[in-house]
Amino acid sequence: KNEVEQSPQNLTAQEGEFITINCSYSVGISALHWLQQHPGGGIVSLFMLSSGKKKHGRLIATINIQEKHSSLHITASHPRDSAVYICAVRYLTGANNLFFGTGTRLTVIP
Amino acid sequence: EAGVVQSPRYKIIEKKQPVAFWCNPISGHNTLYWYLQNLGQGPELLIRYENEEAVDDSQLPKDRFSAERLKGVDSTLKIQPAELGDSAVYLCASSLSGDAGNTIYFGEGSWLTVV
């Protein structure tokens, strides 16, 4: 059972819309990553969070450690934002590895 | 600065044949990871190296998969013999160390199709 859950699994939006992708996990973590994967391409790290909020351009990532929840927001979405967005966590206990969600496939329509 | 480089990008082989993937991590990165990603799924760790030592290979199917990182830099992942179910993307990643505070950088992946 995958303990890193993302929602929604698929998301279609009109260009310019505000996008929110959610990630929840079940036990304590030391870090959470938001990653972007384009079709046929590799994975690009967008953010690494352990608390609070980070912003880069039109992307904003937040994390609530107490609620074990993180969100990735995209403002003024653009067709080039179309990709799979993956949440990955590094747990406090156990192996020092990343555990991945199954991803959210975003399609932004012009 | 070059990112994580993987080759080949695409490989099609018949079942029971061997295949090998190569990864060159970012210069100076001590930690190297090999991940397996099936279609529509998130990546799953196969093996993690700290320098030349495999510190976590618990998910590596050792009957047919092997990996090495002899000089603590480049790494190869081998499958012999390949099975139909091995068709997937094999991702290599690296980071400065395995600590939580370091960003992990991914290569573009090696796409394997076993026919």
**CA distance to partner chain A, nearest, from residue B107 (Å):** 5
The chain B residue lying nearest A104, using CA atoms, is B40
Record the tokens describing residue B86, joined without a space: 């091995």
Contact B98 A96 (CB under 8 A): yes
Asked if B91 lies within 8 A of A42 by C-beta distance, the reply is yes
Nearest CB among B40, B48, B107 relative to A42 is that of B107
Give the residue on A whose Cα is nearest the Cα of B109: A42
Mean pLDDT estimate for chain B: 91
pLDDT recorded at residue B70: 84
The reply to whether A95 touches chain B by the CB within 8 Å rule is: yes
Asked if B40's CB is within 8 angstroms of A101's CB, the reply is no
Selection from A107, A97, A108, A105 nearest residue A33 by Cα: A97
- For the segment B6-22, the average pLDDT, to the nearest whole number, is 94
pLDDT in tens, B20-59: 999 999 999 999 999 999 988 889 999 999 999 998 898 8
The predicted structure's pLDDT at residue A80: 94
pLDDT of residue A91: 83
Rounded alpha-carbon distances, angstroms, from residue B30 to A41, B38, B61, B85:
24, 26, 24, 31
Q: Is the pLDDT of residue B98 over 70?
A: no
Q: What is the pLDDT, as a whole number, of residue B76?
A: 97
Percent of chain B with pLDDT over 70: 96
The answer on pLDDT for B99 being more than 70 is: no
Counting as low any pLDDT under 50, the low residues of chain A are 1
Q: What residue ranges in A50-103 does DSSP mark as E strands?
A: 52-56, 59-64, 69-74, 83-91, 98-100
Q: Which pLDDT belongs to residue B96? A: 87
Q: Is A54 on the interface with B (CB under 8 A)?
A: no
Cα gap A75→A78, rounded to integer Å: 9
CA atoms within 13 A on the CB side of B112: 29
Name the average pLDDT for chain A.
91
Residue A3, pLDDT score? 86
